[in-house]
Amino acid sequence: MKVMVLGATGLTGNLVLENLLARSEVGSVVVPVRRWLAPDEPKLEQHVIDFDNMDAHAEIFDVDALVCCIGTTISKAGSRAAFRKVDYDYALTAARLARNTGARALILMSAVGASTTSKVFYSRVKGELEDAVRALNFPYLSIYHPSLLLGNRQEQRPAESLGMALMPVANHGLIGPLRKYRAIEASTVAAAMVNELVMLGENAAPGPVVKIREYTDILRIAKMATV
């Protein structure tokens, strides 16, 4: 299986990349980047591209599946427009290019609460992206809805750092319908994504099949043993 990871330098994307490289079922992993990753791996295909002109690199999107973990924050991006360019434009363009070259599966990192009707800009953009990728008619589309992701980030996100300190305690109070808002380890999300992809293999259903993965489902898939 040939898999592309978009957002491989981020918290979850990097963990997905590591997991994919370790799996014998995966023949090669394609990673579009702004700069070279290190160290290099035999199965890793790195391509330094201009993310604002992805169509010029359409040939690298010829993969069996795309795992899209790209994302930023408004604070880091500098504006709502810049945030939208990364979280919506880049993600949708990659999905479109992968689908046009024959990719049969897309695993998309979204967020709990994503909705086109949300009053929260972040959640609304995520919801708009979900609707847009649904329209691409991937034979298999799995959309992940994690809440706060726990893990060691390279960049500092003060608000998330505070949340990570508080959420392990708050998680115990989030039960029933609120369970989906529990914070979750990024490593768990990455493990679930890779397990789902490996179990799917190259045999995506004639589809389109759309799955929404929330907290409980993500935990279940992450614990699945694959051969």
Please identify which of the residues 122, 144, 181, 215 carries the catalytic annotation: 122
Q: How far apart are CA 146 and CA 185, in angstroms?
A: 9
Q: Which residues of 60-97 are buried (b: 16+ CB within 10 A; e: fewer)?
A: bbebbbbbbbbbbebeebeeeeebbebbeebbbbbbbb
How buried is residue 177: exposed, middle or buried, by Cβ count under 10 Å (0-12/13-18/19+)? exposed
Active site residue 122: yes
Of the candidates 187, 189, 183, the one whose C-alpha atom is nearest the C-alpha of residue 220 is: 189
Q: How far apart are CA 61 and CA 4, in angstroms?
A: 7
Residues contacting 98, CB < 8 A, separation 6+: 4, 61, 63, 66, 106
From the CA atom positions of the chain, what is the Rg in Å? 17
Tell me if 22 sits within 8 A of 35, measured CB to CB. Answer: no
Active site residue 180: no
Positions marked catalytic: 122, 126
